[in-house]
């Protein structure tokens, strides 16, 4: 049987997408949402390929707005079109909105307890670890190619080490990175 004759599985139902994105939103405290979305959509359910989600992450970061909501709309749209984009976005935001309102109502009562600060520190460390994991996945994708690797290192040094403003750095490095790979006919910058 050739690849052309293998039927593609039907896309997931909207209620399943809503459930997955709802729990991503509820369980992803302190950041790390992009990594969690990648894990669920690529590794857990196989709804998209790794390259598709990494392209979505790149696109989400250059668009205005919150990166994770941009990524959520991109992923939902790729999976189920406009209905998938709307479903995934609403589901992702519904749980955290309720949780944030409840926490805000009770935070002032608990803010002086050291255990609360320890919990917040632990959640923040886990979020950093998730983001680092996703950064490594993205870096492995570009490492075999010189121009994207140099762009990645230059961006890291400019923003992370020298603390230059992100927008001017991206406005300079992104076009240079695209121009460097354009003549080779490479699909991904």
Q: Residue 98 to residues 36, 66, 104: CA-CA distances in angstroms? A: 20, 19, 10
CA-to-CA distance for 176 and 189, rounded, in angstroms?
10
Mean pLDDT of 20-35: 83
pLDDT in tens, 127-169: 888 888 888 888 888 888 888 889 989 998 999 899 999 889 9
Q: Give Cα 45 to chain centroid, integer Å.
A: 16
Mean pLDDT of 100-125: 82
Taking a C-beta distance cutoff of 8 angstroms, is the pair 42, 54 a contact? Answer: no
Check whether 186 has a pLDDT greater than 70. Answer: no
**Torsion (CA) 83, 85, 86, 89 in degrees, nearest 10:** 150
CB atoms < 10 A from the CB of 85, how many? 19
Q: At what angle do helices 67-110 and 14-27 cross, to 10 degrees?
A: 50
| Token pair in block for residue 31 | 């950041």
Average pLDDT, the chain: 86
Q: What is the pTM of this model?
A: 0.63
């Amino acid at each position: 049987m050739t690849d052309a004759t293998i039927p593609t599985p039907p896309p997931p139902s909207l209620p399943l997408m809503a459930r997955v994105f709802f729990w991503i939103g509820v369980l992803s405290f302190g950041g790390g949402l992009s990594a969690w979305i990648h894990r669920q959509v690529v590794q857990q359910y196989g709804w998209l390929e790794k390259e598709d989600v990494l392209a979505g992450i790149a696109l989400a970061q250059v668009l205005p707005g919150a990166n994770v909501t941009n990524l959520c709309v991109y992923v939902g749209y790729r999976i189920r079109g406009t209905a998938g984009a709307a479903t995934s976005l609403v589901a992702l935001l519904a749980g955290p909105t309720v949780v944030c309102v409840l926490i805000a109502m009770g935070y002032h009562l608990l803010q002086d307890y050291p255990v609360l600060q320890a919990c917040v520190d632990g959640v923040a460390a886990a979020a950093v670890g998730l983001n680092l994991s996703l950064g490594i996945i993205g870096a492995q994708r570009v490492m075999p190619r010189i121009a994207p690797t140099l762009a990645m290192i230059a961006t890291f040094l400019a923003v992370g080490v020298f603390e230059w403003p992100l927008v001017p750095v991206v406005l300079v490095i992104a076009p240079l990175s695209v121009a460097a790979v354009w003549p080779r006919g490479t699909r991904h910058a």
